[in-house]
Protein backbone atom coordinates (compact mmCIF):
# COMPACT_ATOMS: atom_id res chain seq x y z
CA UNK A 1 0.00 0.00 0.00
CA UNK A 2 1.22 3.50 -0.74
CA UNK A 3 2.43 5.11 2.50
CA UNK A 4 1.18 8.57 3.49
CA UNK A 5 3.49 11.52 2.89
CA UNK A 6 4.43 11.58 6.58
CA UNK A 7 5.08 7.84 6.76
CA UNK A 8 7.18 7.94 3.62
CA UNK A 9 9.25 10.87 4.89
CA UNK A 10 9.78 9.03 8.18
CA UNK A 11 10.95 5.96 6.22
CA UNK A 12 13.52 8.04 4.33
CA UNK A 13 14.77 9.69 7.52
CA UNK A 14 15.12 6.30 9.18
CA UNK A 15 17.51 5.24 6.40
CA UNK A 16 19.78 8.11 7.45
CA UNK A 17 19.46 7.22 11.12
CA UNK A 18 20.50 3.63 10.34
CA UNK A 19 23.04 4.01 7.56
CA UNK A 20 24.49 7.53 7.16
CA UNK A 21 28.29 7.78 7.22
CA UNK A 22 28.34 9.92 10.37
CA UNK A 23 28.37 6.55 12.13
CA UNK A 24 31.54 5.36 10.42
CA UNK A 25 34.57 4.89 12.73
CA UNK A 26 36.76 6.95 10.39
CA UNK A 27 34.55 9.99 10.98
CA UNK A 28 34.66 9.42 14.73
CA UNK A 29 38.47 9.42 14.55
CA UNK A 30 38.57 12.47 12.30
CA UNK A 31 36.20 14.60 14.34
CA UNK A 32 37.63 13.41 17.65
CA UNK A 33 41.16 14.53 16.80
CA UNK A 34 42.52 10.97 16.58
CA UNK A 35 43.68 11.06 12.96
CA UNK A 36 47.36 11.43 12.16
CA UNK A 37 48.34 14.16 9.65
CA UNK A 38 48.71 11.43 6.99
CA UNK A 39 45.21 10.10 7.67
CA UNK A 40 43.74 13.61 7.39
CA UNK A 41 45.62 14.12 4.11
CA UNK A 42 44.38 10.80 2.73
CA UNK A 43 40.81 11.85 3.55
CA UNK A 44 41.29 15.23 1.82
CA UNK A 45 42.73 13.57 -1.32
CA UNK A 46 40.01 10.96 -1.59
CA UNK A 47 37.13 13.17 -0.68
CA UNK A 48 38.22 15.60 -3.42
CA UNK A 49 37.19 12.96 -5.93
CA UNK A 50 33.65 13.13 -4.55
CA UNK A 51 33.64 16.94 -4.58
CA UNK A 52 34.88 17.08 -8.15
CA UNK A 53 32.29 14.55 -9.32
CA UNK A 54 29.23 16.17 -7.72
CA UNK A 55 28.85 18.96 -10.32
CA UNK A 56 29.40 16.37 -13.09
CA UNK A 57 26.56 14.28 -11.71
CA UNK A 58 24.38 17.39 -11.45
CA UNK A 59 25.18 18.25 -15.07
CA UNK A 60 24.30 14.65 -16.04
CA UNK A 61 21.00 15.08 -14.21
CA UNK A 62 20.20 18.38 -15.89
CA UNK A 63 20.99 17.03 -19.33
CA UNK A 64 17.99 14.69 -18.92
CA UNK A 65 15.49 17.19 -17.52
CA UNK A 66 12.94 18.51 -19.99
CA UNK A 67 11.19 20.87 -17.58
CA UNK A 68 12.91 24.30 -17.60
CA UNK A 69 11.58 25.06 -14.11
CA UNK A 70 13.31 21.98 -12.70
CA UNK A 71 16.57 22.82 -14.51
CA UNK A 72 16.39 26.36 -13.18
CA UNK A 73 16.02 25.04 -9.65
CA UNK A 74 18.84 22.52 -10.05
CA UNK A 75 21.52 24.63 -11.72
CA UNK A 76 22.59 26.46 -8.56
CA UNK A 77 24.05 23.14 -7.38
CA UNK A 78 26.62 23.31 -10.16
CA UNK A 79 27.41 26.94 -9.39
CA UNK A 80 27.78 26.14 -5.68
CA UNK A 81 30.67 23.81 -6.54
CA UNK A 82 32.17 25.40 -9.64
CA UNK A 83 31.74 29.01 -8.49
CA UNK A 84 29.92 31.94 -9.99
CA UNK A 85 30.84 35.62 -9.95
CA UNK A 86 32.28 36.49 -6.54
CA UNK A 87 31.71 32.97 -5.23
CA UNK A 88 34.89 30.93 -5.76
CA UNK A 89 32.93 27.67 -5.39
CA UNK A 90 33.22 24.51 -3.32
CA UNK A 91 35.98 22.91 -5.39
CA UNK A 92 38.28 25.88 -4.78
CA UNK A 93 37.33 25.91 -1.10
CA UNK A 94 38.21 22.21 -0.88
CA UNK A 95 41.62 22.93 -2.42
CA UNK A 96 42.16 25.57 0.28
CA UNK A 97 41.67 22.80 2.78
CA UNK A 98 44.26 20.76 0.84
CA UNK A 99 46.70 23.71 1.16
CA UNK A 100 46.01 23.98 4.88
CA UNK A 101 46.68 20.30 5.61
CA UNK A 102 50.01 20.56 3.78
CA UNK A 103 49.28 18.94 0.43
CA UNK A 104 50.35 20.00 -3.04
CA UNK A 105 47.03 21.26 -4.39
CA UNK A 106 47.84 20.44 -8.00
CA UNK A 107 48.39 16.82 -6.96
CA UNK A 108 45.02 16.76 -5.19
CA UNK A 109 43.32 18.39 -8.18
CA UNK A 110 44.90 15.83 -10.53
CA UNK A 111 42.94 13.05 -8.73
CA UNK A 112 46.01 10.82 -8.84
CA UNK A 113 46.45 8.69 -5.76
CA UNK A 114 42.71 8.31 -5.19
CA UNK A 115 41.87 4.82 -3.91
CA UNK A 116 40.30 2.47 -6.45
CA UNK A 117 37.25 1.83 -4.24
CA UNK A 118 36.65 5.57 -3.91
CA UNK A 119 36.59 5.89 -7.67
CA UNK A 120 34.29 2.90 -8.09
CA UNK A 121 31.84 4.18 -5.49
CA UNK A 122 31.71 7.77 -6.72
CA UNK A 123 31.58 6.78 -10.39
CA UNK A 124 28.67 4.48 -9.55
CA UNK A 125 26.78 7.45 -8.14
CA UNK A 126 27.36 9.52 -11.30
CA UNK A 127 26.26 6.57 -13.42
CA UNK A 128 23.19 6.01 -11.27
CA UNK A 129 22.09 9.60 -11.81
CA UNK A 130 22.80 9.38 -15.52
CA UNK A 131 20.79 6.21 -16.04
CA UNK A 132 18.02 5.84 -13.46
CA UNK A 133 14.63 7.57 -13.48
CA UNK A 134 14.90 11.23 -12.47
CA UNK A 135 12.83 10.63 -9.34
CA UNK A 136 15.36 8.07 -8.09
CA UNK A 137 18.24 10.39 -8.95
CA UNK A 138 16.68 13.11 -6.79
CA UNK A 139 16.03 10.60 -4.01
CA UNK A 140 19.71 9.60 -4.05
CA UNK A 141 20.70 13.21 -3.34
CA UNK A 142 18.64 13.18 -0.13
CA UNK A 143 21.57 12.00 1.99
CA UNK A 144 22.03 15.77 2.18
CA UNK A 145 19.16 15.75 4.68
CA UNK A 146 21.71 14.40 7.11
CA UNK A 147 24.74 16.42 5.97
CA UNK A 148 24.29 19.69 7.92
CA UNK A 149 24.70 17.85 11.21
CA UNK A 150 27.89 16.11 10.09
CA UNK A 151 29.28 19.38 8.72
CA UNK A 152 28.55 21.18 12.00
CA UNK A 153 30.16 18.32 13.97
CA UNK A 154 33.16 18.43 11.65
CA UNK A 155 33.72 22.18 11.97
CA UNK A 156 33.54 21.91 15.75
CA UNK A 157 35.70 18.76 15.95
CA UNK A 158 38.41 19.93 13.57
CA UNK A 159 38.64 23.42 15.10
CA UNK A 160 39.02 21.89 18.55
CA UNK A 161 41.58 19.27 17.58
CA UNK A 162 43.83 20.28 14.69
CA UNK A 163 46.17 23.22 14.13
CA UNK A 164 45.34 23.47 10.42
CA UNK A 165 41.67 24.23 11.14
CA UNK A 166 40.63 27.87 10.95
CA UNK A 167 37.91 29.95 9.30
CA UNK A 168 39.67 29.82 5.95
CA UNK A 169 40.35 26.10 5.82
CA UNK A 170 36.88 25.27 7.16
CA UNK A 171 35.10 27.56 4.68
CA UNK A 172 33.92 24.61 2.56
CA UNK A 173 31.86 23.19 5.41
CA UNK A 174 30.74 26.56 6.72
CA UNK A 175 29.32 27.43 3.33
CA UNK A 176 27.59 24.05 2.90
CA UNK A 177 25.63 24.77 6.08
CA UNK A 178 23.78 27.45 4.08
CA UNK A 179 23.70 25.75 0.67
CA UNK A 180 22.55 22.23 1.57
CA UNK A 181 19.26 23.05 3.37
CA UNK A 182 17.95 24.89 0.28
CA UNK A 183 18.83 21.97 -2.02
CA UNK A 184 17.44 19.34 0.25
CA UNK A 185 14.17 21.19 0.95
CA UNK A 186 13.54 21.23 -2.80
CA UNK A 187 14.66 17.61 -3.29
CA UNK A 188 12.57 16.29 -0.42
CA UNK A 189 9.42 18.07 -1.62
CA UNK A 190 10.03 16.79 -5.15
CA UNK A 191 10.34 13.20 -3.94
CA UNK A 192 7.33 13.39 -1.59
CA UNK A 193 5.20 14.97 -4.36
CA UNK A 194 6.20 12.53 -7.08
CA UNK A 195 6.55 9.15 -5.32
CA UNK A 196 2.81 8.51 -5.49
CA UNK A 197 2.80 4.71 -5.69
CA UNK A 198 4.32 2.08 -3.47
CA UNK A 199 6.65 1.02 -6.29
CA UNK A 200 8.01 4.54 -6.60
CA UNK A 201 8.37 4.91 -2.83
CA UNK A 202 10.28 1.62 -2.66
CA UNK A 203 12.51 2.70 -5.55
CA UNK A 204 13.27 6.03 -3.81
CA UNK A 205 14.10 4.28 -0.55
CA UNK A 206 16.42 1.90 -2.45
CA UNK A 207 18.09 4.89 -4.17
CA UNK A 208 18.75 6.53 -0.82
CA UNK A 209 20.16 3.28 0.59
CA UNK A 210 22.39 2.96 -2.47
CA UNK A 211 23.71 6.48 -1.80
CA UNK A 212 24.47 5.69 1.83
CA UNK A 213 26.48 2.73 0.48
CA UNK A 214 28.39 5.08 -1.85
CA UNK A 215 29.39 7.23 1.13
CA UNK A 216 30.13 4.34 3.51
CA UNK A 217 32.32 2.48 1.02
CA UNK A 218 34.56 5.52 0.58
CA UNK A 219 35.31 5.54 4.30
CA UNK A 220 35.81 1.77 4.43
CA UNK A 221 38.40 2.16 1.68
CA UNK A 222 40.17 4.93 3.59
CA UNK A 223 40.12 2.97 6.83
CA UNK A 224 41.53 -0.16 5.26
CA UNK A 225 44.30 1.72 3.42
CA UNK A 226 45.38 4.23 6.09
CA UNK A 227 44.18 2.97 9.50
CA UNK A 228 43.90 -0.81 9.70
CA UNK A 229 45.30 -3.00 8.36
CA UNK A 230 47.00 -0.09 6.57
CA UNK A 231 47.24 -1.81 3.22
CA UNK A 232 47.47 0.89 0.55
CA UNK A 233 46.38 -0.53 -2.81
CA UNK A 234 48.59 -0.05 -5.88
CA UNK A 235 48.31 3.52 -7.11
CA UNK A 236 47.03 4.88 -3.78
CA UNK A 237 48.65 8.00 -2.30
CA UNK A 238 51.76 7.21 -0.25
CA UNK A 239 52.19 9.36 2.89
CA UNK A 240 55.33 11.49 2.63
CA UNK A 241 54.75 12.29 -1.04
CA UNK A 242 53.21 15.45 -2.52
CA UNK A 243 53.39 17.13 0.86
CA UNK A 244 54.40 20.74 1.31
CA UNK A 245 56.98 21.77 3.80
CA UNK A 246 54.73 24.08 5.80
CA UNK A 247 57.70 25.48 7.72
CA UNK A 248 59.01 26.91 4.47
CA UNK A 249 55.85 28.96 3.98
CA UNK A 250 55.15 29.84 7.62
O1 LIG B 1 30.59 15.88 4.24
C2 LIG B 1 29.65 15.13 4.04
O3 LIG B 1 29.39 14.20 4.81
C4 LIG B 1 28.81 15.33 2.83
C5 LIG B 1 27.85 14.40 2.49
C6 LIG B 1 27.11 14.60 1.33
C7 LIG B 1 26.08 13.60 1.07
O8 LIG B 1 25.37 13.24 2.03
O9 LIG B 1 25.98 13.10 -0.03
C10 LIG B 1 27.36 15.71 0.51
C11 LIG B 1 28.32 16.62 0.96
N12 LIG B 1 29.02 16.43 2.10
C13 LIG B 1 28.59 17.82 0.24
O14 LIG B 1 29.41 18.64 0.69
C15 LIG B 1 27.95 18.06 -0.99
O16 LIG B 1 28.19 19.08 -1.64
C17 LIG B 1 27.03 17.12 -1.47
C18 LIG B 1 26.28 17.07 -2.66
C19 LIG B 1 25.59 15.88 -2.60
C20 LIG B 1 24.70 15.30 -3.59
O21 LIG B 1 24.39 14.10 -3.48
O22 LIG B 1 24.29 16.00 -4.55
N23 LIG B 1 25.89 15.24 -1.44
C24 LIG B 1 26.74 15.97 -0.75
pLDDT digit string, tens, across residues 31-44:
999 999 999 999 99
Domain residue limits, the chain = 5-229
Q: Is 150 in the pocket of ligand 1 (CB under 6 A)?
A: yes
Q: Which residues contact 124 (CB under 8 A, 6 or more apart)?
A: 214
Q: What is the pTM of this model?
A: 0.96
Helix and strand numbers (H, E) in the chain are: 12, 0
- Given CA atoms 84, 85, 90, 95 in this order, what sign does their dihedral have? positive
Cα-to-centroid distance, 142 and ligand 1 (Å): 9
Residue nearest atom 21 of ligand 1, based on CA coordinates: 141
Average pLDDT of 60-76?
Answer: 97
Tens digit of each residue's pLDDT (9 = 90 or more) over 183-229 = 999 999 999 999 999 999 999 999 999 999 999 999 999 999 999 99
- Which residue of 22, 83, 124, 143 sits with most ligand 1 atoms within 8 Å of its CB, as the best mutation to test the pocket? 143
Whether CATH 3.30.300.20 fits 5-229: no
- Given CA atoms 90, 96, 97, 99 in this order, what sign does their dihedral have? positive
- 33 torsion bin: left (phi>0), alpha (psi -120 to 50), beta (else): left
Q: How many CB atoms lie within 10 A of CB 231?
A: 9
Cα-to-centroid distance, 117 and ligand 1 (Å): 18
Q: Where are the alpha helices (DSSP H) in 101-170?
A: 105-110, 116-131, 134-140, 147-161
- With a threshold of 0.90, tell me whether the complex ipTM lies above it: yes
Amino acid sequence: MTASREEFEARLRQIGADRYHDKHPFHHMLHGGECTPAQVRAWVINRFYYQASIPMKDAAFMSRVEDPALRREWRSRIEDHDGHGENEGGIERWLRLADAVGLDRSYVASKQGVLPATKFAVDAYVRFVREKPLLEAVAASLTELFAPKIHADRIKGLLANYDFANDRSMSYFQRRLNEAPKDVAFGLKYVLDNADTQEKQDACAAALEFKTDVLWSQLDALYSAYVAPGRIPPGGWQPGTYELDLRATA
